[in-house]
Chain A
Amino acid sequence: DTEVTQTPKHLVMGMTNKKSLKCEQHMGHRAMYWYKQKAKKPPELMFVYSYEKLSINESVPSRFSPECPNSSLLNLHLHALQPEDSALYLCASSQDWYTGELFFGEGSRLTVL
């Protein structure tokens, strides 16, 4: 059982829609991450929050907007996406310092029409 919960598991949206992906963890972790994974590829880092502050933005287009309301929650707001943004979006958390021991959710599979 994963301790990082992501909703929704599947999302289909048009290019003009606004939607959000949600992630929650109750392990007391202070760092949270968004990754994007295309089919048959490794995950690519998008954003890192450490102690609820955005620490890393890997030059992600502004149509992706992260938000960390508190230490347990992480959102990814989506607007005006492109079909090439279709992918599995993975949320992860770690205790605090970035040592690579990440706990991943099962992901939200996004399809942009």
Chain B
Amino acid sequence: QKEVEQNSGPLSVPEGAIASLNCTYSDRGSQSFFWYRQYSGKSPELIMFIYSNGDKEDGRFTAQLNKASQYVSLLIRDSQPSDSATYLCAVTLEAGTALIFGKGTTLSVSS
């Protein structure tokens, strides 16, 4: 059974702080890694994807991938109340195949 594990939270951070979201995956052959944000009652929205070991930055978001440890994380700098949502980690085994999702981590940013 291919699994993606996330701490369900909630993770609570004050406005302006760095939020760190973590994810581990079981299949060492996983190729692509995605972070989706999902507001309550809405569908998942792509934030970032990463394919190679290391860091990838996009604005206030940084994705980090360590394939040796089978670990992927998302850092959100200068967290805002509007970042309060559930963050879903997902992986694919090959390009063009289905996403395998974790259960998501709920982030709450207080003002």
Do the two shown chains form a genuine complex with each other?
no
Interface set of B (CB-CB < 8 Å, partner A): none
